[in-house]
């Protein structure tokens, strides 16, 4: 991508997680949207496995070097967030635990654990879709990347393909609530049936 293209203006008035990709340089915004599309595919893969749908992609010099999706439930692994999976795979692929030339794309704002791993890996840029008001560590709950006492500061961009990234999470949780409701109703119906069978 051509980073020499003029950027229309600075966006210092845009709060974290609220960045409008349309405000970025055109080529960078297009690349961001494309890579976020790949992260969304990973989120869909997570959903098919019954995991909270979050997906991530690591890009190095314009090449996708790793993907990952959320799988803590199936993997019995509290650290198996999409970012961790993608970072591990990228480090294996590149043969280096430091990834200073890499960008990480993820559909949901990274949590504290993932922000820590991003810093250890020296990722240069983080692009996320949906803000996470419960665990987000890029400004929603805390902003670790703005903490001057920590020694690595990746550039962070939020809100890329936000509606799709939020939409897949909303669909997952609403389907899960509907399934839980159906199970409760079936259990209640069975209990009523058993009670009426009692002489």
Catalytic residues: 83
Q: What is the DSSP letter of 99?
A: -
Q: What is the DSSP letter of 94?
A: H
How far CA 6 is from CA of 9, 19, 124, in Å, comes to 9, 18, 20
* Binding residues with Zn ion: total (CB under 5 A): 4
Q: Is 126 near Zn ion (CB under 5 A)?
A: no
Q: Which of these ranges, 63-71, 73-81, 153-161, 169-177, lies near Zn ion under the rule CB under 5 A?
A: 73-81
Q: Is 106 near Zn ion (CB under 5 A)?
A: no
Q: Which of these ranges, 54-62, 74-82, 118-126, 144-152, lies near Zn ion under the rule CB under 5 A?
A: 74-82
Q: How far is the CB of 23 from Zn ion (least distance, A)?
A: 27
Select 31 or 56, whichever has its Cβ closest to Zn ion: 56
**114 annotated ligand binder:** yes
Q: Is 81 near Zn ion (CB under 5 A)?
A: yes
Tell me which of 46, 114, 121, 138 binds Zn ion, using CB under 5 A. 114
Would you list the DSSP string of 128-172?
EEE--TTT-TBTTS-BGGG-TTSS---EEE--TTHHHHHHHHHHH
Q: How far is CA 198 from the centre of its chain?
A: 52
Q: Which of these ranges, 75-83, 96-104, 137-145, 176-184, lies near Zn ion under the rule CB under 5 A?
A: 75-83
Phi-psi label, residue 29: left if phi above 0, alpha if psi -120 to 50, beta otherwise: alpha
> Using CB under 5 A as the criterion, which residues of the chain lie in contact with Zn ion when the complex forms?
81, 111, 113-114
């Amino acid at each position: 991508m051509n980073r020499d293209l003029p950027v229309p203006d600075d966006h210092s008035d845009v709060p974290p997680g609220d960045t409008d990709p349309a405000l970025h340089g055109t080529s960078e915004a297009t690349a961001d949207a494309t890579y976020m599309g790949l992260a969304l595919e990973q989120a869909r893969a997570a959903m098919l496995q019954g995991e909270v749908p979050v997906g991530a992609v690591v890009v190095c010099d314009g090449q996708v070097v790793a993907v990952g999706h959320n799988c803590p439930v199936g993997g019995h692994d509290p650290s198996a967030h999409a970012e961790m999976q993608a970072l591990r795979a990228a480090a294996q692929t590149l043969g280096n635990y430091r990834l200073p030339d890499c960008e990480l794309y993820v559909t949901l704002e990274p949590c504290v654990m993932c922000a820590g791993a991003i810093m250890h890996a020296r990722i240069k840029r983080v692009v996320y879709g949906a803000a996470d008001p419960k665990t987000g560590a890029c400004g929603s709950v805390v902003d670790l990347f703005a903490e001057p006492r920590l020694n690595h500061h990746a550039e962070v961009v939020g809100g890329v393909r936000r509606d799709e990234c939020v939409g897949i999470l909303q669909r997952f949780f609403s389907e899960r609530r509907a399934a839980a409701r159906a199970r409760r109703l079936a259990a209640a119906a069975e209990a009523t049936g058993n009670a009426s069978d009692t002489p």
